[in-house]
Structure 1
Amino acid sequence: MMSKILFINTIILSAIFLAGCTSNEEGDFEVAFDNKIEHIHGIGYAGETNGLYFATHGGLKIYCDSEATRNYNDYMGFNAVDEGFYTSGHPGGHSDIPNPFGIQRSFDGGRTLEHIKFEGETDYHAMAVGYDSHDIFLMNPERNSELEKGFYRSVDEGETWEEVDAEGLEGGVLSFAMHPADSNFVAAATSEGIYLSKNGGNDFKVLTDAGHSGTAVYFFEDDLYYATYGESVKLVKRSVRNDDKVAINIPKMNDDGILYIARNPRNTEELGIYTINGDAYLSKDGSVEQWGKILNDGNAK
């Protein structure tokens, strides 16, 4: 069995180095995908579509109606929102966007990207965006033209930035999540556990027991979904209003863990997860008693 240390190191390396569907009116922007999907840096239901987006080094892969499609660019820090998605990353071979992206957004399924901030300066891996608010929380990895190294939030879609202390946040950060509408709630998955801030990231409190490393965080309405790895893989749904929590049934996993979580806002019974070993599952029954595997080691099923 994979040791816990090796497992967590693998996750950290993956994090660091690592709609329905639209029509095909614009040529080969979306084409049938039949290759292996690797280096995924986020999943989500973006804009007014029902397809589950996978943000990868090789572009966007969109799973819809049992088919996967593709388009291009290297997406990191991917966050689905009500009108589309926000992202960081690197341009593809035919793009004239400066490298790295900084922060970009798309409201047309990735056909075009709109510059928000830090284009040509910074690549953001740990970034969260409110699904409805479009507020941004991020970890700035190194000094750029406007920000020092540290943690920042913006409540005006990247126009201005406020530094926050992130007091109490421990361990290597794997990912952040922000409440869809109330940006006081920010969650973090780190090598030391799952953390929650109720004041916009000024301070965090750990939600998990010692020995349980956090691997994924995701907000849907007032519920925080989070995944951990300790003696086993666990997925939990916790209300940020009253702290009620419930364990969620997950597929059997061997030497694996959950990296990304997404719920379909147009079909709330549909929940998707993606794992460190390149597997992806969908549950469509609401009770999460049945899971269908849509990726097996990165291969579309």
Structure 2
Amino acid sequence: MKHIKTFFLVSSLGIMVSGCSASDEEYSYVKSKDTTIDHIHGIGYPNNQGDLVIATHDGLMKYKDSTWYGTNSLKHDYMGFQPYKDGFYSSGHPEEGSILKNPLGLVKSTDGGKSLDKLALYGETDFHYLGAGYQSKAIYAINEEPNSEMETGLYRTMDEGGNWEKAEMKGFDSTSIGNIAVHPSKKEMLAISSKDGVYVSKDGGDSFTKVENSQTVTSIYLSKRVGLFSSIEEGKIQLYEWDFKSNKVHPYPTPKLSKDNPIMYISSNPESSDEWTVVTYNNDIYQTTNNGETWDEVVNEGKIAK
């Protein structure tokens, strides 16, 4: 596989463990006292509970009933954060003072981050780019540096890291990517956003075709019937809805954003198909609950209301 640059916009189950924290307080989500969110590494709606969760450099945060909550301990730096029906998958680095190895490899949690199940490459690899099927639990990862099991390239696992297969990526001819999105139930369907458009695969990443009328795409999310992706074109940021059945692409109502503040993350509530959330490069967070008719800015440049 050719070398792929990432962050192009920015020139067998393991052992169940609880991370070590300086605090002896019972792990929980508490109303956030901080007024700023920084370094967002992923968003989504884990556990089929309908609550938005974001992964930051300093742990997880939850948005529920118009209020932000943060964890009171175990503030790990979750990279490649991917919610699924029973919890979330992630990679990254443990918080300072933790007994966990660094990097985390591939881990999962089914209790909101209270404990981590070490799935693969623990203490060896930090996957910045992961994609996971919300229902299927199929996982795709871009490995940027060789490790004990992988060369560089795109890999897939259908058994939570027990076995990995390297994808051939025929037809993918972009050199810079944004993210990986996996269909919630179709294990072999995934899409990759790139500076040259959206590339979609229906055979587990062995071959890709480009979605027509897609240009510089910074992020994409796949729901059951449609994909939503964000482009930079003609000096503006524009969301598009891609219908899988017709393969047609249509403009989607988009928050007003400056061209230097592109959308980096997109997610949809699996309990409500009309609810979408996007995060921008400047840490603005917008949410719609009526399929784009109106957008509410719930975070402005990382600042949350007290």
Length-normalised TM-score, structure 2 = 0.87
Query: Which among 237, 244, 251 is matched to residue 247 of structure 1?
Result: 251
Identity level (%): 34
CA distance in 2 between counterparts of 1:46 and 1:11 reads 27
User: Is the contact made by 1:12 and 1:174 (CA closer than 8 Å) also made in structure 2?
Assistant: no
User: 1:269 aligned to 2:267?
Assistant: no
Structure 2 CA distance for aligned equivalents of residues 163 and 10 of structure 1: 23
Query: Cα offset for 1:110?
Result: 1.0
Cα distance 1:230–1:208, how it changes in 2: closer, same or farther (>3 A)? farther
Aligned residues: 280
Q: Which structure 2 residues correspond to residues 15-54 of structure 1 after superposition, within 5 A? A: 27=26, 29-33=28-32, 34-54=34-54
For residues 11 and 59 of structure 1, the distance between their equivalents in structure 2, rounded to whole angstroms, comes to 24
1:240 CA displacement? 2.3
Q: Residues of 2 paired with 1:257 and 1:98: CA distance?
A: 34
Q: Which of 198, 211, 214 matches 1:194?
A: 198
Distance 1:137 1:297 in 2: 30
Q: Which amino acid aligns with 1:51?
A: D
Q: Are the structure 2 counterparts of residues 199 and 28 from structure 1 closer, same or farther at C-alpha, using a change threshold of 3 Å? A: closer
Counterpart of 1:47 in 2: which secondary structure? helix
Deviation per CA, 1:134-192, whole angstroms, max 9, x where unpaired? Answer: 11111111111111111111111211111111122212122101111112211001122
**Structure 2, unaligned runs of 5 or more:** 1-5, 12-24
4+ aligned runs moved over 6 Å, structure 1? none
Q: Which amino acid aligns with 2:208?
A: F
Q: Give deviations 1:99-133, integer Å, cap 9, x for gaps.
A: 00110001111111111101111101111011011
Deviation of residue 253 (structure 1)?
0.7
Alpha-carbon separation, structure 1, partners of 2:8 and 2:147: 28
Structure with higher RCO (Cα < 8 A, 6+ apart)? 2
Say if 2:8 and 2:178, in contact at 8 Å, map to a contact too: no
Opposite residue 259 of structure 1, the aligned amino acid is M
Q: Structure 1: which amino acid aligns with 2:50?
A: N
How far off its partner does 1:234 sit? 1.4
- The equivalent residue for 2:237 is 233
Q: What is the match of residue 152 of structure 1?
A: 155
Query: Which residue of structure 1 aligns with residue 180 of structure 2?
Result: 176
Partner of 1:4: none
* 2:199 counterpart SS class: strand
- The DSSP-based 3-state class of the residue aligned with 1:11 is coil
Q: What are the residue-to-residue correspondences of 1:1-301 with 2, within 5 Å?
A: 11-12=9-10, 27=26, 29-33=28-32, 34-71=34-71, 72-169=75-172, 170-209=174-213, 212-231=215-234, 232-255=236-259, 256-286=261-291, 288-301=292-305
Question: Is residue 184–residue 199 contact of structure 1 (8 Å, CA) maintained in 2?
Answer: yes
3-state SS, counterpart of residue 47 of structure 2: coil
Unpaired segments of 5 or more residues in structure 1? 1-7, 14-25
- Answer whether contact 1:261 1:273 (CA < 8 A) is retained: yes
Shift of 1:10: 7.2
Residue 99 of structure 1 aligns to a residue whose secondary structure is coil
Which 10-residue stretch deviates more, 39-48 or 90-99?
Answer: 90-99
2: CA distance, partners of 1:196 / 1:264: 22
Partners of 1:9 and 1:127 lie apart in 2 by 13
The alignment yields a C-alpha RMSD, in angstroms, of 1.8
Residue identity opposite 2:47 in structure 1: G
**What's the offset of the Cα at 1:82?**
0.6
Amino acid at match of 2:184: P
The aligned amino acid for 1:141 is: E
Q: Tell me the TM-score normalized by structure 1.
A: 0.88
Letter in 2 for 1:61: M
Name the CA distance, whole Å, in 2 between partners of 1:209 and 1:291.
25
- Aligned partners of 2:8 and 2:195 also within 8 Å: no
Q: Distance in 2 between matches of 1:75 and 1:244?
A: 35
Q: Distance in 2 between matches of 1:214 and 1:268?
A: 22
Q: Supply the AA of the counterpart residue of 2:161.
A: G
